[in-house]
Structure 1
């Protein structure tokens, strides 16, 4: 039987500087991984990445920050090769990178379309590709998407639309990588209580989202708490290895497929 524990494993977290990615990085460190490669996008998140690295090191786990704009295939390839060179192996690859745009369909420009698909779709495609090349046998691969993939809603055509291809990438990769024991999943949180959420929403929309989930009354904000997403991620990269090719929505009953 393959070892699906975190002991001795190396994790690469894209978008691992802060918010959900940062919490995943710290959580895996707390639960037994040997090392964590913390990716961040630009100088704007460099300090947060170093803080996450420092917190991981304080727990006795190796960690290092890696900067890259993942909207080019070359940058994604370099991220994987640099992380593997630093730690000797990669067992777990988790991509939390994303960009949101809430805008009427008829107002979305070509430049905005290209940008959204570069961040949410193209980078995810090449992250999965490089994971397939670099992950150890019995590795785990998770991509963060959005619960809007199960919603019938206006104004998110470019956001949900650019995340939607990841479902298909996930299914194909699970079939192709499965012969090596690699599990491939996508996780779609509901609206999360992070700085990523609020700038795109008006007050009325925020109020709606805070009451839309079946379990909203039991959440401190009514929104999806990143603390509630992390245990699912940890399960998928350990005992939940038999789950593969799936898109799992975690949103307290906000929406479903």
Structure 2
């Protein structure tokens, strides 16, 4: 019989911290690393390993210069990115409280022709997602002129966001999603929401019509520390 190895010290500390969180012994933030090493009589390396595991399990998240906060965003929803709506909100492990949005009509460019083919005009949308009044990510969307509703230039912020987050998907027969690490630097964005030491993920979403032509492209930039992607897959008996 093979004996199970002794539970590592950092796992023991992980469970102790988790118990304190579940029992509401910590309010919204856990103590500093120095305090935790004293509380649990262990090394800082052990504490950091336990904290890394708590972050991996989305129990806590870090804010640079402020510490580690408890993730209270425990949605009961079982849906994931398979739902046709904004991939930012469905891939983020903190609540998006508000957003800023800007739009612009553009003449065709080399890039728009690469994505859409020979289109003369298109609309571009820049969305900045906020949590606790701090920008945590960005969406840049381009949509062909033919797919834009009449009079959309007069839409208010709420109507614009509803259009690009929900309504635009009604025209999609096929959607392709690609995910990779972004190579963009922090200073290439209009608002700073990460440092150059942070890993930022790019989720690219192409919406295609029945003829297989792309009519909209969404690019979501989200720091890895906020990323949580969930996708529901079903067996044949469930999907029929």
TM-score category by the smaller chain? Answer: under 0.3
TM-score with structure 2 length normalisation?
A: 0.25
In our comparison, the structure showing a higher alpha carbon Rg is: 2
Going by fraction, where is strand more abundant, 1 or 2? 2
Going by fraction, where is helix more abundant, 1 or 2? 1
